[in-house]
């Protein structure tokens, strides 16, 4: 079960072996400490030998220093090992997640993936933390001390044994309750922060629909839930501590009663009794540790399961074993009887095909336009061209090479997409423009910014290319974002361009301004342009009209207008 974690731990095996050795020595030293007390009381005090007293105390202090040094090494190096292991695990999990198929992200909740990467991994971390090692160490102490006190006085050891299960049960019951209450409180905290996040991102919606009270009530509900669970945990803690103290006093009382009897009967020395009490006290912390260990194991098993669950999801969109680089493109992209239905994440209903038996060509160095009603499958087709999804049937050929035979990275490097929702990364304007070409010089960036008609805008920004955009930076308008996306695509310099409503967010003036730049961009390239505004596809070499996932018409603007069919209807609906 923990094989995966332990293979990681074994990478640091020398640290681990060193730690275990140190731990064993610490256990022995801890075991010896009460012997000094016994020796002083029984041997040194009766003889009134001060020299021996100083020597014994000196030795005891020396042992304490050695114990402290061991403790330092064990805590520090175990901490190093635990951090190495966890960092490896975290990086590996991130790497696996980022390489998953698009469908994986559409069917998982962002929050859930985040929790697996953070809290779940942290839970595993406590399994290999310095605490855990010392917990295991105290198990050794427990067994050793227990055998020893039986050996010294079995009657007293038996009396101690009566209180141990009681203590174990109390620890187990209360710790479980406390943990569960805290877990539920944490769940409520997560809901609170979700609600807070929603409020911050949807504040305009909330204000315009005057739903402040409704949202405040929701927040208060989660806050109250958090309070109730935390209060419940506090109650359990308040009862737990006095109970444990009482059991301890009970144990000490029994030992004192029996011990005094044996001392009076001369079957035990006073030093022996004092040492005995110290040994019995040493049993208490392993019981605590043991219950903690059990809880920790439970939690770690749950987290481990959740981590393994995602790490076992295999992406299906991968390089074929005999994949070839993208061909030296000069002829056409050919879509042949392509059909595709989005996978249904709930797997309860059959999925409706978004693309049905679609066939058409996108010739080299020409502009092909894709038009159709909303939901007719235009974006889906572009996702298939970039292999974000694989076709259910049919094929897409790039100069005759089937899409699945082309190396994935090479395919995507040859296609630049400017999509409807422009994604901005958290960084500067420069970072955003050169996202696909990190080596690009500022000169080159200025060139593409000029072509995308965003150069003046950037020049007037307070820090020019250095201006922060994205979540923590300044807000850009839809049109500005799109022009940055166009600059980004220009810099990528791919032979194939897909423009998905690239000009939708631009006003007429800006649209005209960048039309020239777009024309430049498209001239030497093969392009597929999706546009709702039919004025932008007038000049396309060929227009494909899609309806309900099927090609219903193809031809130039003039030809399709003359047909008085689907395209004409779309056109008239816009311009009449
Ligand atoms: N990720 C998805 N999962 C499931 N179904 C989807 C997904 N994306 C789109 N669809 C569905 O597939 C169909 C085609 O959607 P698509 O986004 O390709 O249309 P579109 O023509 O680009 O629309 P628009 O012009 O409004 O952007 C729609 O019925 C839509 O509901």
d(CA 155, CA 342): 73
Residues 171 and 117 in one domain: no
Query: Starting from the edge strand earliest in sequence, which strands make up the sheet with 332-341, in order?
Result: 353-363, 332-341, 393-398, 401-402
Closest CA to 528 of 395, 398, 357: 398
Q: For residue 372, which atom of ligand 1 is closest to its CA?
A: 21
Residue of the CA atom closest to atom 30 of ligand 1:
375
Give the domain range for residue 12.
1-152+296-314
Q: Answer whether residue 405 shows pLDDT above 90.
A: yes
Residue-wise DSSP of 298-311: HHHHHHHHHHHHHH
Average pLDDT, stretch 391-406? 94
Q: Answer whether residue 472 shows pLDDT above 60.
A: no
Of the residues 471, 493, 515, which one is the last residue of a structural domain?
493
Residue 304 domain flag: yes
d(CA 458, CA 465): 6
Q: Give the ipTM of the model, two decimals please.
A: 0.95
Residue 66 domain flag: yes
Residues 119 and 109 in one domain: yes
Burial letters for 124-141: b for 16+ Cβ neighbours within 10 Å, e otherwise?
bbbbbbbbbbbbebbebb
d(CA 255, CA 270): 13
Residue of the CA atom closest to atom 3 of ligand 1:
342
Q: Answer whether residue 265 shows pLDDT above 80.
A: yes
Distance 381 CA to ligand 1 centre (A): 10
Q: Which tokens in the block code for residue 532?
A: 């709702």
Q: Which tokens in the block code for residue 126?
A: 């406590």
Of the residues 436, 471, 493, which one is the last residue of a structural domain?
493
Q: Answer whether residue 571 shows pLDDT above 80.
A: yes
Residue 339 domain flag: no
pLDDT digits (tens, 9 = 90+) for 121-176: 887 777 777 666 777 777 778 888 889 889 888 988 988 888 888 888 888 888 88
Residues 103 and 170 in one domain: no
Residues 16 and 82 in one domain: yes
CB atoms closer than 10 angstroms to residue 378: 23
Residue 447 domain flag: yes
- Alpha carbon 437 to chain centroid, angstroms: 27
Residue 90 domain flag: yes
Query: Starting from the edge strand earliest in sequence, which strands make up the sheet with 550-555, in order?
Result: 415-418, 496-500, 526-530, 367-372, 542-547, 550-555
Residues 160 and 240 in one domain: yes
Residue of the CA atom closest to atom 24 of ligand 1:
374
pLDDT digits (tens, 9 = 90+) for 302-348: 778 878 887 788 888 889 899 999 999 899 999 999 999 988 766 65
**CATH assignment at residue 461:** 3.40.50.300
Residue of the CA atom closest to atom 14 of ligand 1:
377
Of the residues 475, 493, 511, which one is the last residue of a structural domain?
493
* Pocket around ligand 1 at a 6 A CB cut-off: 106, 342, 354, 372, 374-380
Q: Answer whether residue 502 shows pLDDT above 60.
A: no
Give burial (CB, 10 Å; 0-12/13-18/19+) of 496. buried
* Residue 314 per-residue DSSP state: P
Give burial (CB, 10 Å; 0-12/13-18/19+) of 279. buried
Structural domains counted in the chain: 3
Distance 355 CA to ligand 1 centre (A): 10
List strand residue ranges (DSSP E) for 350-506, in order: 353-363, 367-372, 393-398, 401-402, 415-418, 427-428, 468-469, 496-500
Residue with the two structure tokens 């035979």:
405
Residue with the two structure tokens 């309070």:
227
pLDDT category of residue 1 using cuts at 50, 70 and 90: very low
Residues 6+ apart with CB under 8 A from 544: 360, 368, 369, 370, 371, 551, 553, 554
Distance 377 CA to ligand 1 centre (A): 6
d(CA 486, CA 449): 9
Distance 275 CA to ligand 1 centre (A): 77
Q: What is the mean pLDDT of the chain?
A: 84
Residues 6+ apart with CB under 8 A from 146: 157, 283
Residue of the CA atom closest to atom 29 of ligand 1:
375
Ligand 1 pocket test, pick from 104, 379, 382 with the greatest ligand atom count within 8 Å of Cβ, gives 379
Distance 571 CA to ligand 1 centre (A): 21
Distance 548 CA to ligand 1 centre (A): 10
Q: Tell which wins on pLDDT, 306 or 225.
A: 225
pLDDT of residue 517: 63
Residues 190 and 95 in one domain: no
3-state secondary structure (DSSP) of residue 394: strand
Ligand 1 pocket test, pick from 356, 376, 421, 534 with the greatest ligand atom count within 8 Å of Cβ, gives 376
pLDDT of residue 500: 81
pLDDT category of residue 231 using cuts at 50, 70 and 90: very high
3-state secondary structure (DSSP) of residue 360: strand
Distance 359 CA to ligand 1 centre (A): 19
pLDDT digits (tens, 9 = 90+) for 318-331: 898 999 999 998 99
Distance 387 CA to ligand 1 centre (A): 16
Ligand 1 pocket test, pick from 378, 381, 385 with the greatest ligand atom count within 8 Å of Cβ, gives 378
**CATH assignment at residue 31:** 1.20.1560.10
Q: Answer whether residue 533 shows pLDDT above 70.
A: no
Residues 6+ apart with CB under 8 A from 105: none
d(CA 525, CA 529): 12
Distance 549 CA to ligand 1 centre (A): 10
pLDDT digits (tens, 9 = 90+) for 444-462: 999 888 888 888 888 888 8
Q: Tell which wins on pLDDT, 473 or 538.
A: 538
- SS3 string, 59-121, reads HHHHHHHHHHHHHHHHHHHHHHHHHHHHHHHHHHHHHHHHCCCHHHHHHCCHHHHHHHHHHHH
d(CA 88, CA 85): 5
Residues 2 and 23 in one domain: yes
List strand residue ranges (DSSP E) for 408-466, in order: 415-418, 427-428
Residues 126 and 30 in one domain: yes
Residue 576 domain flag: no
Residue 553 domain flag: no
Residue of the CA atom closest to atom 25 of ligand 1:
374
Distance 338 CA to ligand 1 centre (A): 16
Ligand 1 pocket test, pick from 380, 383, 531 with the greatest ligand atom count within 8 Å of Cβ, gives 380
Residue 173 domain flag: yes
Residues 4 and 146 in one domain: yes
d(CA 337, CA 355): 9
Residues 158 and 104 in one domain: no
Residues 29 and 141 in one domain: yes
pLDDT of residue 473: 59
d(CA 539, CA 535): 9
Residues 455 and 470 in one domain: yes
């Amino acid at each position: 079960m923990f094989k995966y974690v332990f293979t990681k731990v074994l990478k640091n095996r020398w640290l681990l072996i060193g730690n275990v050795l140190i731990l064993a020595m610490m256990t022995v030293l801890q075991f010896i400490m009460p012997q000094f007390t016994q020796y002083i009381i029984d041997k040194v005090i009766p003889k009134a030998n001060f020299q021996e007293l100083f020597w014994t105390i000196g030795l005891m202090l020396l042992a304490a220093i050695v114990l402290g040094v061991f403790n330092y090494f064990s805590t520090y190096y175990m901490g190093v090992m635990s951090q190495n292991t966890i960092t490896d695990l975290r990086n590996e999990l991130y790497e696996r997640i980022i390489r998953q198929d698009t469908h994986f992200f559409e069917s998982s909740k962002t929050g859930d993936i985040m929790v697996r990467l953070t809290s779940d991994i942290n839970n595993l971390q406590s399994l290999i933390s310095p605490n855990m090692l010392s917990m295991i160490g105290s198990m050794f102490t427990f067994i050793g001390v227990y055998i020893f006190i039986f050996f010294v006085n079995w009657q007293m050891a038996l009396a101690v044994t009566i209180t141990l299960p009681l203590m174990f049960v109390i620890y187990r019951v209360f710790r479980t309750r406390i943990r569960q209450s805290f877990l539920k409180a944490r769940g409520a905290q997560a809901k609170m922060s979700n609600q807070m996040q929603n409020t911050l991102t949807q504040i305009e919606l909330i204000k315009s629909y005057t739903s402040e009270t409704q949202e405040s009530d929701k927040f208060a509900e989660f806050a109250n839930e958090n309070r109730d669970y935390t209060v419940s945990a506090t109650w359990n803690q308040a009862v737990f501590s006095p109970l444990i103290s009482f059991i301890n006093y009970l144990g000490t009382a029994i030992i004192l009663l029996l011990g005094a009897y044996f001392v009076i009967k001369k079957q035990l020395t006073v030093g022996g009794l004092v040492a005995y009490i110290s040994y019995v006290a040493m049993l208490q912390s392993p019981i605590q540790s043991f219950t903690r260990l059990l809880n920790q194991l439970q939690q770690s098993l749950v987290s481990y399961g959740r981590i393994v669950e995602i790490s076992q999801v295999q992406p299906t969109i991968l390089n074929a074993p005999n994949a070839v680089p993208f061909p030296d493109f000069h002829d056409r992209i050919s879509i042949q009887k392509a059909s595709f239905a989005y996978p249904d994440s709930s797997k309860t209903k059959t999925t409706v095909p978004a693309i049905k038996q679609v066939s058409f060509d996108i010739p080299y160095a020409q502009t092909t336009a894709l038009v159709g009603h909303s939901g007719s499958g235009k974006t889906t087709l572009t996702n298939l061209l970039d292999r974000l999804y694989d076709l259910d049937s049919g094929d897409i050929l790039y100069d005759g090479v089937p899409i699945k035979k082309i190396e994935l990275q090479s395919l995507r490097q040859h296609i630049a997409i400017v999509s409807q929702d422009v994604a901005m990364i958290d960084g500067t304007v420069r970072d955003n423009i050169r996202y696909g070409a990190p080596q690009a010089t500022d000169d080159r960036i200025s060139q593409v910014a000029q072509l995308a008609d965003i150069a003046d805008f950037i020049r007037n920004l307070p820090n020019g290319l250095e201006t922060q955009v994205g979540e923590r930076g300044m807000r850009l308008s839809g049109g500005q974002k799109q022009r940055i996306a166009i600059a980004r695509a220009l810099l990528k310099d791919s032979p194939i361009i897909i423009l998905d409503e690239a000009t939708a967010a631009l006003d007429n003036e800006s649209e005209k301004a960048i039309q020239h730049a777009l024309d430049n961009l498209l001239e030497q390239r093969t392009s597929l342009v999706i546009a709702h505004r039919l004025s932008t596809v007038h000049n396309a070499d060929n227009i494909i009209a899609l309806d309900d996932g099927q090609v219903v018409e193809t031809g130039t603007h003039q030809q399709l207008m003359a047909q008085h069919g689907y395209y004409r209807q779309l056109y008239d609906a816009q311009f009449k």
